[in-house]
């Protein structure tokens, strides 16, 4: 049996990726223990999902992020106190600082709704849609100080169907996210993911 990987989850919104991880733990035996959830916004519905699953939460607000490094120090303290080994960003709309990255070196995962390095930033799905690409997708990568540029762990493509609306593309992207993120966490929990000296991810 794989020892459960203790993770802290950072979110800013509805928390559907948090829910996907919770469901995978409960239904599929994903070897992960979500020890703490941090929300950057007090109105994020993801807080309710965490509470429903009995997961402790820390809720921050815009005033706290006036000093981003102080905010990250507070998050690091909460996650370490909870025993988190990995940090999992799931719809977290704040850029992490070196305070977080140094506390969890190569252990901060992020999910991006495009095939990096294409369509970086907060509007990736809409930008891909407007560009008329025929294939986009989802990337899981390790966060670093360069926004959406850390070592890539996994990617999955989504073919854009003729006539799709932006909303239909968003739904397809989210469906892939909800499947891919738990799969990556399983690989991490099994000790199969490493970052080499070449700063590329290798999966055993």
Residues with catalytic function: 112
Q: Which residue has 């506390």 as its token pair?
A: 103
Please measure the distance between the N-terminal and C-terminal CA atoms of the chain and give it in whole angstroms.
Answer: 18
d(Cα 30, Cα 68) in Å, to the nearest integer?
Answer: 32
d(Cα 184, Cα 83) in Å, to the nearest integer?
Answer: 20
In terms of Cβ atoms closer than 10 Å to its own Cβ (0-12, 13-18, 19+), residue 73 is: middle
Q: What is the CA radius of gyration of the chain?
A: 16
CA distances from 166 to 103, 125, 172, 179 (A): 38, 8, 10, 20
**Contacts for 138 with CB less than 8 Å, ≥ 6 apart:** 111, 112, 113, 114, 115, 155, 156, 158, 173, 176, 177, 180
């Amino acid at each position: 049996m794989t020892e459960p990987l203790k993770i802290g989850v950072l979110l800013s919104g509805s928390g559907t990726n948090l829910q996907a991880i919770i469901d995978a733990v409960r239904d599929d035996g994903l070897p992960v223990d979500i020890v703490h959830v941090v929300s950057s916004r007090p109105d994020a519905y993801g807080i309710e999902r965490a509470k429903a699953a009995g997961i402790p939460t820390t809720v921050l607000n815009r005033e706290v992020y006036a000093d981003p490094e102080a905010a990250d120090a507070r998050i690091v303290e909460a996650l370490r106190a909870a025993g988190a080994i990995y940090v999992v960003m799931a719809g977290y709309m704040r850029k992490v600082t070196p305070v977080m990255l140094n506390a969890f070196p190569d252990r901060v995962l992020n999910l991006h709704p495009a095939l990096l390095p294409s369509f970086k930033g907060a509007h990736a799905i809409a930008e891909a849609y407007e560009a008329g690409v025929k294939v986009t997708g989802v990337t899981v990568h390790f966060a670093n100080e360069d926004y959406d540029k850390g070592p890539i762990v996994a990617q999955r493509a989504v073919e854009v169907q003729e006539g799709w609306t932006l909303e239909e593309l968003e739904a397809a992207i989210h469906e892939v996210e909800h499947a891919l993120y738990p799969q990556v966490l399983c690989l991490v929990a099994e000790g199969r993911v490493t970052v080499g000296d070449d700063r590329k991810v290798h999966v055993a």
